[in-house]
Structure 1
Amino acid sequence: MKHSSHLNYSYKDYIDSPEGLADSIAETLGCPVTIEDANHRIVSYSKHEKNVDEARIATIMRRKVPEHVINGLWKQGIMAKLFESDQPIIVKTIDSIGLGHRLAVSVRKNNEILGFIWAQTNDLSVTAEHLEEMKEAAQWVSHHLLRQQAKKKKTEENRKEFFWQLLTGSLQNPAEIKRLAKKFHMNLQGQLCVAVFEFTEDMSQAVERHAYYLTETLHQTRIVNRIFDDQQLILLVRTDNKEDANEMNQAFIREFTQKMKERLNFEDLKGAFGLIYDSPTLISDSYKQALKVLELKEQYSAGLQHVDNYQDLGVYQFLNELSSLQKRENYKNDALTNIRTYDERHNSMLLETLKVFLEKNSNVHQAAAHMHIHTNTLNYRLKRIKEIGNIDFKDMNQKTMLYLDLLIYENEQEDL
């Protein structure tokens, strides 16, 4: 790294174009430089030099920082420091992600992160003057990125309107959808679905920044578009292979929620996605389904704790409708009523036993293990259940109705 005077004499030439911006900074600092936007996509990078590390090479080849490098920087606390402060930091070698010595600084406007500058210093010592030069470089890069943001702002507003049209189903003309998708560079080919994350806290700017950042840096899925609505983050997700889509979406939901918990201490963040369709005219259906999953997860938290896909709701899809219908018709299940009355009189657990037995698909050994009782004890209870409720466990129709009525009854008890 070489010493130099102040930088601004040469940076003015590159505010409108990123070309040469990194070269100008690299020439001043005397080492390779990479400029990234807030989501780790390359804005500009300097000419190659000797001893360039693996992380820099992979970033330039992909035009974006590899996910394992980003994860490594978070685990080492590097990214947290860059998010928290506008001061340059010295980063020591991290062999596990192929990263050599670095001098790094966040590029920002007030508290908003616009991007990052990374200078590969190798083994050269870093002085106070170098740190000051990095701070000044960040100011000039900030000017460039702000100008780029201003150009995109109007386009983004129109893009959001188009996205809401798709989510609400108010736009159904395939030709018009295709035209607008091309105009806003939204790839609507392949398999599409909507994912929704629901936050319990109000969506502060810091939360939005981290959420947006994660949707850009997690690589399992392709995010076509995103929008924040009150306490929800709504995403349009695309994949080319329908067979792998559900698995990929589930992995994305779980990793996103896990990383938000790790980085912002969110303990109660729920995510869900609707069915996958191959037509953009059905995006609104997927959106409604994702919202339905979130609603039912809140309502039936015990039974749906690990469900995040509309496809996996099973009978829970219809419980609220069945409950409403039963109330209108003054319906009651006599078998459950008799068993419940018996439990109340004898302080027994027959109703709970029945539910576990049905949940375990009538498997005596699994049900007994779940309840931590002997199989003989379970068989005795089942015998009493059959007698009191006049139940035939070989009748699939009767067992199905019993299970549905049990779920509805439990939900009604929670509402009391």
Structure 2
Amino acid sequence: MSPTPRTPKTLNDLIDSPEGLADRIAENLGCPVTIEDANHQIVSYSKHEERVDDARTATIMRRKVPESVVNGLWKHGIMARLFESGRPVIVPPIEEIGLGRRLAVSVRHKEETLGFIWAQTAELTITEEHLQTIEDASRIVSQHLLRQQAKKKKSEENQKEFFWQLLTGSLENTSDIKRLGKKYQMNLQGQLCVAVFEFTEDLSQSVERQAYYLSETLYQTRIVSRIFDNHQLILLVRTDPKEDAEHLSRAFLNDFTLKMKERLNFDDLKGAVGLVYHTPSFIHSSYKQALKVLELKDQFPKALAEVDHYQDLGIYQFINEIAELQRNEHYHNHALRKIKSYDADNRAALLETLSVFLAHNSNVHKAAEEMHIHTNTLNYRLKRIREIGGIDFKNANQKMMLFIDLLIDEKEKEDL
């Protein structure tokens, strides 16, 4: 027979002792209880229980819900229901993530989700009284989480100012950075880089909350600090010295982008990551590099569609600087001028052919496939290009210069 839930004795009994919150709610429900904040960090959990499931054990050990469990709850639509409403939700067992049956409710203040209460109810016959008890408990817990949130927000405001100083390079003294990092509880040890996610429109509060939530609940990397700036989310990402920072940052970027698209239908979300540095004094460099990746992806959407890391830009890293030097020196490529003139006089497409051929690293078959022409046709065009422009395709230096000049030519056409 299921225990009959009892109403908490007094409000202060729960509010004044946050560590005992879950114990008191568990006592009233008659089953194990866990209280989490909005990012699935444990606030309080009931003690001395038997027959708990794997998901609960892992959560208590880590002081945070495992990512696999969070992902499973999203895939089964549970988290969406909790974010949408403050009503209790009965969660059926989800074996693949080690989760037994739960009774869950979001802890809310107005429309904002502050956290969650989870009751393990495998041996409980849930009644209307249980539903009412956990709903009443959520209102009590919200008062505690509001207090906690107010303290956290004040700390985050100070952190943001410090983060902007790092991003803009206005603070470069290593000893000052270490002192302020310690003051604002920002771990700047290890490997650091900046990731920037760009949305197609300014961020609403609900989108900001979801983006913040995701950045807190993905586990491959550690988010040291974050800032929302108009339509961008800027993150400072840290990894330990012995970890593969590049691999982890790639995994984080892909996972974050994928989950934002899945959960909020952001199909046009773009992300970029700067280089990894071992000292916080170069954070501003990583930030500039991430912004440059986004800028170049806009300029060369086809060529850089799959490029998200500054490290992978190759010659595109310096394309704008080279273009500026060429303008200052009134430079022009004689071979390309001759080919352009031939195209104009004969309504030909030799310049396009050359561009595609070089973009495919001189692979005739791939270039012909992209242009939907026969390889014999392509070879004939390449012969004409060699003759008209005086081009030697065996000369790597000449080919590289042609490739760069074609990229700049493409960019300038887009700028018109």
Equivalent residue, structure 1, for 2:151: 151
Q: Cα deviation per residue 1:136-185 (whole Å; 9 max; x = unaligned)?
A: 10011101111112222322211111111111111122112111111222
Structure 2 CA distance, aligned partners of 1:17 and 1:162?
33
Structure 2 CA distance, aligned partners of 1:92 and 1:243?
37
Structure 2 CA distance, aligned partners of 1:45 and 1:243?
32
Give, as a single letter, the amino acid of the residue that structure 1 aligns with 2:7: H
Q: How high is the TM-score relative to the length of structure 2? A: 0.96
1:379-398, aligned counterparts within 5 Å? 379-398=379-398
Q: How high is the TM-score relative to the length of structure 1? A: 0.96
Q: Cα deviation per residue 1:186-232 (whole Å; 9 max; x = unaligned)?
A: 11111111111111121111111110111111111111111111111
Equivalent residue, structure 2, for 1:6: 7
Indicate if the aligned counterparts of 1:275 and 1:310 stay in contact, CA closer than 8 A: yes
1:354-369, aligned counterparts within 5 Å? 354-369=354-369
State the identity as a percent. Answer: 69
CA deviation after TM superposition for structure 1 residue 128, in Å: 1.7
Structure 1 runs not aligned, ≥5 long: none
Equivalent residue, structure 2, for 1:337: 337
Secondary structure at 2:208 match in 1: helix
Structure 2 runs not aligned, ≥5 long: none
Structure 2 CA distance, aligned partners of 1:299 and 1:360?
19
Give, as a single letter, the amino acid of the residue that structure 1 aligns with 2:331: Y
Structure 1 CA distance, aligned partners of 2:243 and 2:151?
39
Structure 2 CA distance, aligned partners of 1:259 and 1:152?
26
Structure 2 CA distance, aligned partners of 1:234 and 1:153?
17
1:16-415, aligned counterparts within 5 Å? 16-241=16-241, 244-415=244-415
Q: Number of matched residues?
A: 415
Secondary structure at 2:18 match in 1: coil
Q: Report the CA distance shift for 1:396/1:163 in structure 2 as closer, same or farther (over 3 A).
A: same
Give, as a single letter, the amino acid of the residue that structure 1 aligns with 2:366: Q
Structure 2 CA distance, aligned partners of 1:16 and 1:205?
31
CA deviation after TM superposition for structure 1 residue 369, in Å: 3.6
CA deviation after TM superposition for structure 1 residue 122, in Å: 0.6
Q: Report the CA distance shift for 1:374/1:243 in structure 2 as closer, same or farther (over 3 A).
A: farther
CA deviation after TM superposition for structure 1 residue 336, in Å: 1.5
CA deviation after TM superposition for structure 1 residue 5, in Å: 4.1
Indicate if the aligned counterparts of 1:32 and 1:48 stay in contact, CA closer than 8 A: no
Secondary structure at 1:20 match in 2: helix
CA deviation after TM superposition for structure 1 residue 126, in Å: 1.5
Structure 1 CA distance, aligned partners of 2:242 and 2:413?
40
CA deviation after TM superposition for structure 1 residue 11, in Å: 4.3
Structure 2 CA distance, aligned partners of 1:93 and 1:314?
49
Q: Cα deviation per residue 1:293-312 (whole Å; 9 max; x = unaligned)?
A: 11111111111111111111
Indicate if the aligned counterparts of 1:225 and 1:235 stay in contact, CA closer than 8 A: yes
Select between 309-318 and 337-346 the one with higher mean Cα deviation: 337-346
Give, as a single letter, the amino acid of the residue that structure 1 aligns with 2:292: K
Structure 2 CA distance, aligned partners of 1:4 and 1:123?
14
CA deviation after TM superposition for structure 1 residue 242, in Å: 6.8
Structure 2 CA distance, aligned partners of 1:113 and 1:176?
36
Structure 2 CA distance, aligned partners of 1:308 and 1:186?
26
Cα RMSD (Å): 1.6
Q: Cα deviation per residue 1:93-137 (whole Å; 9 max; x = unaligned)?
A: 111111111100000111111100000111432122211111110
Select between 106-115 and 149-158 the one with higher mean Cα deviation: 149-158
Give, as a single letter, the amino acid of the residue that structure 1 aligns with 2:287: Y
Structure 1 CA distance, aligned partners of 2:234 and 2:114?
22
Select between 404-413 and 333-342 the one with higher mean Cα deviation: 333-342
Select between 53-62 and 315-324 the one with higher mean Cα deviation: 315-324
